[in-house]
Structure 1
């Protein structure tokens, strides 16, 4: 039996309900962690009925994916704007910083959200973000390098993959400032290599 089609919010009230559900999910993740997160707790914290929650989401994983998508889209848009405003190589640090700080919360929360986003990659969500990023800078960013589809893929996924790994291994005790320096070093070297290719 096919799953019932979820409602798409069309009015400000529906958008407000979605926002409340996503905000409540993030708050509960931070307070109690993923193992204690339930749709009943989310609905209660959001101030909506469980039936209302299920009008928009199929379950907890769908809600987590929506939280992750919303945060990923905000980061993607911030990075695109950085490249449009400051296309020089010096903007690499601003981009790395946006990626590091874009997924807020504790290491455990970030890991849950990274996992939710990567689970959605099977549905083409990461490809969607990649294409949306390229479309948003096309003709607007005057880059010092020529981006191929492959080099753009490396630029948009290398840091994300490493940040996901760092979130998965909090016991390593990685210093955020030093990790930022290393990520910037890696990306600047890659961008410099692209510029001379």
Structure 2
């Protein structure tokens, strides 16, 4: 990825209202992700994206006026999906023991990034370069609140004085580890040893 930051994203030109339009937008966004992953931000152009998506540049511009608008939409959807999947995993823990909960959470984190670690690393870099801290903070706050609830339900066996603070420390530590690994060693997400070490880190902090 180049060090040059993308411009502040322009809003989408219009929203799709029919299934066919939704399919076109989905194809354009997936093509954007593929081109970003293989070419980097600077070499990504709307022409390359349109060609990969199998649509005309004119069709692309019906929905996205600029490359930055495309990238902004793609990154926001990515973090919405990550947030939704993590919150769903946390909500399904029920009365699982602390040990079992840690294993489920670690598996969910790794599964989120294993299919496209390079792509997800690019999204993280672009988010920071696009003044996307508000989105990142919103995502973090949602996950921290859900983890705090999980920890509060297990407060006594874990011996936690302040589950909310513990959730903040844990989530921010793991988030930093995940982002750094996506940037520097994305292949680690396919390595079972990485998953074991991540679980060990969380176990050592909580148990």
Which TM-score applies when normalising by structure 1?
0.72
- 1:43-63 residue CA offsets vs partner (Å, 9 max, x unmatched): 122223323323433533443
101 and 12 in structure 1: CA distance in 2 versus 1, 3 angstrom threshold: same
Closer/same/farther in 2, CA of residues 77 and 132 from structure 1, 3 Å limit: same
Please state how far the C-alpha of 1:137 moved relative to its aligned partner: 8.0
Alignment of 1:1-197 (within 5 A): 6-30=13-37, 32-34=38-40, 36-87=43-94, 88-89=97-98, 90-105=100-115, 107-120=117-130, 122=132, 124-133=134-143, 143-145=153-155, 147-148=163-164, 150-170=165-185, 176-192=191-207
Q: CA RMSD in A?
A: 3.5
Change (3 A) 1:179 1:104: closer
Q: Which runs of 5+ in 2 are unaligned?
A: 1-9, 156-161
Match of 2:6 in 1: none
Instruction: State the 1:123 CA deviation.
Output: 5.0
Q: Secondary structure at the match of 1:52?
A: helix
TM score, norm. by length of structure 2: 0.69
Over 3 Å counting, the alpha-carbon distance change for 1:119 and 1:82 in structure 2 is same
Which shows bigger deviation, 130-139 or 158-167? 130-139
Describe the SS at the equivalent of 2:13.
coil
Q: Which runs of 5+ in 1 are unaligned?
A: 193-197
